[in-house]
Structure 1
């Protein structure tokens, strides 16, 4: 079967999560870069036929289509190096239901707390600019982002990794936007355990930085 196709954009943290995991696992992907600013390809008829929500990333592998970064991470990690097989999952996932739940707990944290906190603050500062209209939204995102980092600091003071005592897709999912928090004017300096964890993720074999 041909490599999975990833519809992606280089400036997207959610797309980066998928590219990072693929690099860590040595999975070959075919990248299809979408142009958000010039042609609004995410809302073109061709792309909406793939994902009616008009969002990326999207992974297409044979007849399978996944339209959420968390689902894509589970799919790739759950099948080791050949997505779609029934092989033993990579160390970034688990066959044990309790361990899966522990990982998914952090995936939910990434899609709610992180997405509406440090990720939203970055989006407002970098892509929209701070205006009188965006100031209340930025203040709310900053408050949520700081609380998220406090939660992570508490967890990572006593644990090297977020789930199972080893790197998993939980770390990949949370890492992307947390590492970029300073782009949203949220400093990581008050959170030394978080900064140490970021360094550990960056030291993983196969790690790639966001473009």
Structure 2
């Protein structure tokens, strides 16, 4: 990921928080069939390894897990808030007009080589933790233990788990840090006034990270 110094995010706690905030990651690998990508919910164990370890699972019918089993490196992309930035929001537009559109965003890239597993008890622990994470906050959270065990056992045979120790971790917070304070203020105001909740989400991050 191209990341000029002004946008580079090196704080490990901030990178981990963005991973945790991203509900669905994109895992990319290359093997005999070429490039493959899967969209997966993942768990992060921040204290396992230098940069943490990611856990998830594939459908057994998804051939991508075989790339990982064969030792292929994986790239995992965690997309944060993003928005189009209109030149009309820059104070510089009124001063000299030398402005163009851009796109601001937050993204984290994690790379490493995964180990795969299909042990039933380990898979059960993984899917139970994933469900608990995404059911949290619901009035009546569902748990894997509520489903018949023989049914769950059958579902577990249809998946393959993986553990991916993060070997390289890169973050990009492109929030207008290369612009003047007046331009950044104009962008924040423009995004905050948008009817699109995605724009307002990025505005909140711009406000928090400056």
TM-score by length of 2: 0.25
The structure whose residues are more often strand, as a share, is 2
TM-score by length of 1: 0.25
Flag the structure with larger Rg.
2
Relative contact order, higher structure (CA 8 A, sep 6+): 2
